[in-house]
Chains A and B, each alone.
Chain A
Amino acid sequence: MNNFSYLRPATLDDALRALGDGERRDVLAGGTTMVDLMKLGVVDPEGLVDITGIASLEDYELGDERLRFGALARMSDVGDDDTLAARCPALTESLWKAASVQLRHAARLGGNILQRTRCPYFRDPLYACNKREPGSGCAALDGGTTDLHAILGGSDSCVAMYPGDWAQALIAFDAVVEIASAAGTRRIDFADLHVLPGDTPQIETALEAGEIVTAIEVTVSAAMKGSHYLKARDRESYAFANASAAVGVALDGDTVSEVRIALGGVASVPWRARAAEDFLMDGPLDETRAREAGRIALSDANPLEGSAYKIELGASVVAGALMTALERAQQEG
């Protein structure tokens, strides 16, 4: 049996102090990942700092120029917000297509972006996993099942997939993450929050010990109204992505004046497809061009036997998402 402490501070300052007092404590928010992984024996924190008592982190604001989401806003509350749905469909759709109602009711936005991989070998301590136990090997690369693994961003140490949905819409629209620690507050690009596995797959984010994500901000842009999140999965609802795309398009006449493409279900981290954006920028957009953009987005893929299908699927999902986004952008124009 292990020591275990549970703290539920009412203020951010108290939470930061609890994390910084030298004990090995993890942050607990909605718990939908943390409690699950504790039961599986994947994580075994000596203590939890439950931050859900910090009411000030629950708010979100949808300003004309900036969207600001407190880290403790619920996925369900934000996903059900009609104003957000009108302003940026991709942000709403990527919340609605994530998990189940019950999980979205409990899960908070800050926890959601930090969701851990669903790699079956990471989740089962019987198997080798460099992410869970550095240096132990990788059961997926060692002949395991690889149909749900990354084809972009993986390494010789780890091909685990980042499973989240909302993160793809955030990276597409250049979100910024606000992070607090005892030393103060810092802001980083959402694109820099998750780090590639490389030789150290146990390091998943740029967060330092003692830091808490406090907010996520997105600057409003023209391509938000012409945006869409398309998710392909094994069943119609409540499943992780086999491939997904968050895209946004704005038009000047028939010419693409802003385009954003991010990929889910295929990469080690939230993934921005810049080369595909560059291909479409300042040109026309039709189905042929959308399909070519999809092909380009997946062109650097490095699949394993089980995940090879994701190249064609991912390209099709990007193309399909772009065509819906185009329709929405045209309605705006």
Chain B
Amino acid sequence: MPDDREPQPGVSRRRFLTRSALATGAGAIGLKTHIVYADDIATATDKGGVAADALPRIRLTVNGHQRTLAVEPRTTLVEALRDTLGMTGTKIGCNHGQCGACTVLLDGRSVNSCLVLALSADGGEVTTIEGLADPVGNLHPMQVAFSEHDAFQCGYCTPGQILSAIACIDEGHAGSAAEIREYMSGNLCRCAAYPNIVTAIEAVRDGIVEG
């Protein structure tokens, strides 16, 4: 019954309210909520896994495209991107907000997508590495600069580095090499490509990249 599950902003879905004592409690106190979700996960699992129709749905605008997806409530944004939407460009490194590999832009701000619950991102605009090239495949200037200046080796941290690098310039914190290094300190690179990452960002800042 897919129509039943279409999200209605500001309205709790009856399906969830009737399945769970917790949710019934939430309804009883009359919350005006963006999302109300509660479910007995164990019950769903006993029936052979968490049923898709038991899951809350969220709406994200990912790289300009509206997506509606069902997520287990403890799912993080990076898991929703990778596992639910199949967009594996965003990487999971430490999974604890310490390495920056999972960096995406959420409503224009760089964030560790491993520490954002997907439910918390409901209604948000997400930009990932997949969304940087233009529709015919021309790379974003920052992608070109990373390539031209050899700003990576293994490449695993690179999607996060590039999203942070774009935010660095957008927010006006690329004034000097020292300022760039400070701004970029939340993105670790085990290959230690740091000097070339700084050079790439300076090149984009100065407009000397063929995008």
Residues of A that sit less than 8 Å from B by CB: 1-11, 14, 17-18, 21-23, 28, 31-32, 35-36, 38-40, 46-48, 50, 52-53, 76, 80, 99-103, 105-106, 236-238
Known: A47-B38, A50-B120. A8 touches B111 (CB 8 A): no
* A10→B32 contact, CB < 8 A: yes
Chain B residues whose CB sits within 8 angstroms of the CB of A8 once the complex forms:
33-36, 119-120, 122
- Min CB distance, A297 to chain B, in Å? 28
User: What is the chain A residue whose CB lies nearest that of B72?
Assistant: A4
Chain B residues whose CB sits within 8 angstroms of the CB of A39 once the complex forms:
95-96
Chain A residues whose CB sits within 8 angstroms of the CB of B76 once the complex forms:
35
* A103→B119 contact, CB < 8 A: no
Known: A35-B76, A102-B97. A17 touches B41 (CB 8 A): no
Known: A101-B110, A103-B186. A32 touches B115 (CB 8 A): yes
Known: A4-B41, A105-B111. A53 touches B100 (CB 8 A): no
A-B contact pairs, 19 of them (CB 8 A): A6-B35, A6-B56, A6-B73, A7-B33, A8-B36, A9-B31, A14-B32, A18-B31, A22-B25, A23-B25, A35-B76, A100-B112, A100-B186, A102-B111, A102-B186, A103-B97, A105-B111, A236-B181, A237-B182
* A52→B42 contact, CB < 8 A: no
Chain B residues whose CB sits within 8 angstroms of the CB of A11 once the complex forms:
32
* A99→B42 contact, CB < 8 A: no
Q: Is the interface of A mostly helix, strand, loop or mixed?
A: mixed
Chain A residues whose CB sits within 8 angstroms of the CB of B114 once the complex forms:
35
CA distance A3 to B22 in the complex (A): 9
Chain B, 26-44, CB within 8 A of any chain A CB? 26, 28-42
Chain B residues whose CB sits within 8 angstroms of the CB of A80 once the complex forms:
171
- Min CB distance, A8 to chain B, in Å? 5
Chain B, 88-145, CB within 8 A of any chain A CB? 95-97, 100, 103, 106, 109-112, 114-117, 119-120, 122
* Interface status of B185 (Cβ within 8 A of chain A): yes
* Interface status of B80 (Cβ within 8 A of chain A): no
CA distance A2 to B36 in the complex (A): 17
* A3→B40 contact, CB < 8 A: yes
Chain A residues whose CB sits within 8 angstroms of the CB of B167 once the complex forms:
101
Chain B residues whose CB sits within 8 angstroms of the CB of A28 once the complex forms:
117, 120
Known: A35-B115, A50-B120, A105-B109. A23 touches B22 (CB 8 A): yes
CA distance A100 to B112 in the complex (A): 10
Q: Is the interface of B mostly helix, strand, loop or mixed?
A: mixed
Known: A18-B31, A39-B95. A3 touches B38 (CB 8 A): yes
CA distance A22 to B111 in the complex (A): 33
Chain B residues whose CB sits within 8 angstroms of the CB of A236 once the complex forms:
181, 185
CA distance A237 to B187 in the complex (A): 11
* Interface status of B74 (Cβ within 8 A of chain A): yes
- Min CB distance, B108 to chain A, in Å? 9
Chain A residues whose CB sits within 8 angstroms of the CB of B103 once the complex forms:
102
* A106→B111 contact, CB < 8 A: yes
CA distance A238 to B120 in the complex (A): 25
Contact with A along B140-181 (1 / 0, CB 8 A): 000000000000000000000000100110010000000001
CA distance A306 to B195 in the complex (A): 34
Chain A residues whose CB sits within 8 angstroms of the CB of B116 once the complex forms:
31, 35, 106
- Min CB distance, A148 to chain B, in Å? 15
Chain B residues whose CB sits within 8 angstroms of the CB of A101 once the complex forms:
110, 164, 167-168, 183-186
* A102→B112 contact, CB < 8 A: yes
Known: A76-B109, A100-B185, A237-B182. A5 touches B38 (CB 8 A): yes
Chain A residues whose CB sits within 8 angstroms of the CB of B168 once the complex forms:
101
* A10→B74 contact, CB < 8 A: no
User: What is the chain B residue whose CB lies nearest that of A103?
Assistant: B97
Chain A residues whose CB sits within 8 angstroms of the CB of B117 once the complex forms:
6, 28, 31, 35, 48, 50
Checking A14, A36, A99 against B96 with a beta-carbon cut-off of 8 angstroms, the contacting residue is A36
* B26→A5 contact, CB < 8 A: yes
CA distance A14 to B26 in the complex (A): 10
Chain B residues whose CB sits within 8 angstroms of the CB of A47 once the complex forms:
22, 38
* A4→B185 contact, CB < 8 A: no
* A17→B31 contact, CB < 8 A: yes
User: What is the chain A residue whose CB lies nearest that of B186?
Assistant: A100
* B95→A14 contact, CB < 8 A: no
The list of the 4 closest CB pairs from A to B, nearest first, reads A100-B186, A5-B38, A237-B185, A238-B185
CA distance A236 to B106 in the complex (A): 27
* A7→B109 contact, CB < 8 A: no
